[in-house]
């Protein structure tokens, strides 16, 4: 029964109570004109009517979303007061006066996310009138226990949903660097851009009604977004990837510091793919979108990451008879690869597979005809359940493929010389909750390398891959037994650096060869290094032998890419025998100058504070054309030159406009160092009087 006085009544005004609602829904940081709330949770509105209600009149609310709203597709709901409708939407009358009425409206915990239209429907006798009230945006709700994205720990929710700053780990397994990244999911227009992204997807274009119906499922939304962060499907995706050093007039991926400028550039250029991105950029932008929509998300860095192009659970690497790496086949491995993990339940797979799921928006291989990857359950990856949705086999090989090394002779014949079962998937890393520390999550993805469990899981994955239609490209089925015959040659080798490798200095390293047998072994050693090629041939007889190798700065200076990496290989052939050759490999990442950032005065909102940036030139030559950028602002009005071995400091003032924890990012580029990065986490105090 409703209060009296609604005959021919209309609403004169509406109060969305934005401050109270957004605070309760953890959406108060969105700079968005429309009310933004989370599903499965009550929000309050107040309606003013032109006259008192009358007995016998009925009031109902109507929510609609999408291009053709219908109750059959759950894109339209009509629900009366104090009744739980079949749709799960409810409206309850609260404390009221004669001129206004308060209502508590609640959506189901699995409601479609997006922009809704809210209307009021008044029935008086046989007369029905409808009044449009306005729009509101509904998001996923990690605070709601009934939502699939619910995560119980409040610190985790603060980190994986609300934190706008992050850390990305890059480099290699022996030299891991931390790079700052600004997600900015609450900044102006970012929510609108994220919702537009869903509307532009191929899924929506092909079947907009079904697409809208499925937007309540985080699995579906995550898969769609993974396809839209890259532009490889001619779908107006956000980023175009490039993995060479020729970026022309477009943006070098290493220059990006955050997602907001990329997403805004995408919108400003009428949703044309932004040039360019690489894995950490794709992952950073995807994290912004997923957190913006309310799904707990974090970045994962996998060191020694495999790209298995033929689906045989192994990576095949080819070398010539001198040990030089050959560009044969589509398999590859990366020093590191960055993807996302998102948190939600897997009702399609069962409770054991709930929790973290892998999504990878870097375009590597097509899945169902589209460049998309995941969600793949991390638990399924660890257990070798590669037959489960989605793309679990591909992610399994990224962290656990065997690495086969082949020698290709001049007549075209190939010989497998080694199978390394432990190379792939090292130091899998993510940012710690509440700090910038690195957390190793390798054990989430696989059992310890060399353990019985790890090999059994690998065999299980191979069997599932062979016995299913997961891949039509299983060209060379993995042979678990063959790895044992080549894993332990009678000669072992390892490269050791004499001192840390620093850009601008000579690199000194030692190849240590050890004879594992009781007999002397004459060994021919071919050494090579790339991006430069340096071939040295040596004949040695070993019980244990150390071979020194020096790569001068003059040899590598002009050959390096932005990654500052050199691959050194040694092909060791035991002479006068038929036993397998041995290949020793080491990736050297050259250290570059560190940017030191020091805060000199207290940091208070709207008040200038002093910041000092210190940069050292350790080269024995000048560094010119220096440009220092902080938070997108170029601070050096004139280009600076650093003399050889010079250390310089620059002091300037910055005014923060938001309180709380903030990440300050610094970028330095010059003729010798491209895009050196530094970051500083600041706690900005609120200004007095505000």
Residue numbering of the annotated binding site for Ca(2+) = 400, 402, 449, 454
218-228 vs 279-293: helix crossing angle, rounded to 10: 140
Residue 337 is among the residues annotated as catalytic for this protein: yes
Location of structure tokens 């069962």 = 350
State CA 442 to chain mean position distance: 16
Q: Cis ω on the peptide bond leading into residue 565 (within 30° of 0)?
A: no
Query: Catalytic pick from 144, 194, 279, 373?
Result: 279
Q: Cis ω on the peptide bond leading into residue 320 (within 30° of 0)?
A: no
Strand duo 58-64 + 114-124: pairing: antiparallel
655 vs 208: CA distance, rounded Å: 46
Nearest Cα to Cα of residue 370 among 222, 203, 195: 203
Nearest Cα to Cα of residue 579 among 415, 449, 427, 430: 415
Residue 292 is among the residues annotated as catalytic for this protein: no
CA distances to 146, 278, 348, 349, 392 from 376, rounded to whole Å, are 22, 21, 12, 11, 5
By CB atoms closer than 10 A (0-12, 13-18, 19+), residue 91 is buried
HSE-up (13 A, CA, CB side) for residue 498: 13
392 vs 444: CA distance, rounded Å: 14
- Which residues define the annotated binding site? 400, 402, 449, 454
State CA 599 to chain mean position distance: 30
110 vs 6: CA distance, rounded Å: 33
CB atoms within 10 A of CB 206: 9
Q: Is 40 left (phi over 0), alpha (psi -120 to 50) or beta?
A: left
Q: Which tokens go with 292?
A: 């913006």
Query: Catalytic pick from 57, 148, 360, 385?
Result: 360
Contact 336, 373 (CB under 8 A): no
Query: Catalytic pick from 337, 373, 391, 403?
Result: 337
Residue 385 is among the residues annotated as catalytic for this protein: no
Rg, the chain, Cα only: 30
Q: Indicate which residues carry an active-site annotation.
A: 279, 337, 360
């Amino acid at each position: 029964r409703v209060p009296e006085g609604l005959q021919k009544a209309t609403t004169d005004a509406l109060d969305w109570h934005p401050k109270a609602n957004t605070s309760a829904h953890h959406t108060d940081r969105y700079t968005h004109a429309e009310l933004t709330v989370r599903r499965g949770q009550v929000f309050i509105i107040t309606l003013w009517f032109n006259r008192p209600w009358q007995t016998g009149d009925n009031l109902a609310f109507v929510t609609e979303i999408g291009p053709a709203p219908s109750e059959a597709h759950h894109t339209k709901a009509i629900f009366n007061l104090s009744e739980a409708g079949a749709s799960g939407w409810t409206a309850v009358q609260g404390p009221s006066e004669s001129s206004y009425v308060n209502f508590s409206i609640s959506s189901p915990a699995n409601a479609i996310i997006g922009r809704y239209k809210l209307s009021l429907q008044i029935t008086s006798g046989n007369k029905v009138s409808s009044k449009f009230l306005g729009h509101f945006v509904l998001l996923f709700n990690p605070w709601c226990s009934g939502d699939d994205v619910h995560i119980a720990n409040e610190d985790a929710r603060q980190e994986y949903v609300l934190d706008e700053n992050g850390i990305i780990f890059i480099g290699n397994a022996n030299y891991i660097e931390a790079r700052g990244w600004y997600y900015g999911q609450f900044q102006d227009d970012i929510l609108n851009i994220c919702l537009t992204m869903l509307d532009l997807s191929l899924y929506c274009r092909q079947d907009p009604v079904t697409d809208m119906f499925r937007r309540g499922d985080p699995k579906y939304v995550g898969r769609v977004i993974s396809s839209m962060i890259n532009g490889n499907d001619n779908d107006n995706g956000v980023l175009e990837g490039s993995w060479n050093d020729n970026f022309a007039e477009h943006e070098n991926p290493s220059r990006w510091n955050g997602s907001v400028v990329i997403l805004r550039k995408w919108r400003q250029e009428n949703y044309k793919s932004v040039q360019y991105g690489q894995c950490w950029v794709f992952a950073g932008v995807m994290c912004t979108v997923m957190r913006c929509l309310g799904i707990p998300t974090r970045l994962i860095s996998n060191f020694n990451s495999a790209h298995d192009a033929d689906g045989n659970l192994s990576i095949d690497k080819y070398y010539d008879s001198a040990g030089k790496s050959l560009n044969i086949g589509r398999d590859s491995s990366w020093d590191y690869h960055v993807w996302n993990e998102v948190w939600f339940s897997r009702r399609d797979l069962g409770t054991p597979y709930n929790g973290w799921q892998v999504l990878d928006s870097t375009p590597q291989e097509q899945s169902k005809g589209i460049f998309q990857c995941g969600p793949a359950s991390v638990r399924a990856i660890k257990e070798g359940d590669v037959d489960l949705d989605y793309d679990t086999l591909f992610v399994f090989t990224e962290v656990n493929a065997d690495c086969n090394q082949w020698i290709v002779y001049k007549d075209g014949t190939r010989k497998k010389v080694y199978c390394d079962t432990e190379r792939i998937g090292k130091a899998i890393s993510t940012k710690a909750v509440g700090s910038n520390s690195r957390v190793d999550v390798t054990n989430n993805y696989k059992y310890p390398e060399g353990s019985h469990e790890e090999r059994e899981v690998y065999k299980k994955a191979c069997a599932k891959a062979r016995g299913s239609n997961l891949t039509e490209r299983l060209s060379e089925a993995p042979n678990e037994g063959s790895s044992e015959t080549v894993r332990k040659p009678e000669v072992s080798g390892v490269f050791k650096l004499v001192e840390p490798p620093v850009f601008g200095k000579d690199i000194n390293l030692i190849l240590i060869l050890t004879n594992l047998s009781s007999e002397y072994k004459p060994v021919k050693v071919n050494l090579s290094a790339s991006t430069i090629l340096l071939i040295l041939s040596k004949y040695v007889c070993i019980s244990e032998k150390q071979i020194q190798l020096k790569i001068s700065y003059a040899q590598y200076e002009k050959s390096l890419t932005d990654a500052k990496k050199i691959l050194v290989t040694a092909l060791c052939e035991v002479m006068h025998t038929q036993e397998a050759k041995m290949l020793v490999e080491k990736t050297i990442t050259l250290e570059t100058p560190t940017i030191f950032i020091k805060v000199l005065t207290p940091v208070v909102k709207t008040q200038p504070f002093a910041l000092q940036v210190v940069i050292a030139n350790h080269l024995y030559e000048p560094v010119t054309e220096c440009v220092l950028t902080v938070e997108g602002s170029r601070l050096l009005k004139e280009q600076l030159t650093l003399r050889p071995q010079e250390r310089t400091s620059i002091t300037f003032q910055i005014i923060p406009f938001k309180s709380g924890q903030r990440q300050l990012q610094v970028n330095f580029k010059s003729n010798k160092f491209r895009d050196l990065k530094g970051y500083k986490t600041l706690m900005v105090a609120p200004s007095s009087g505000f």
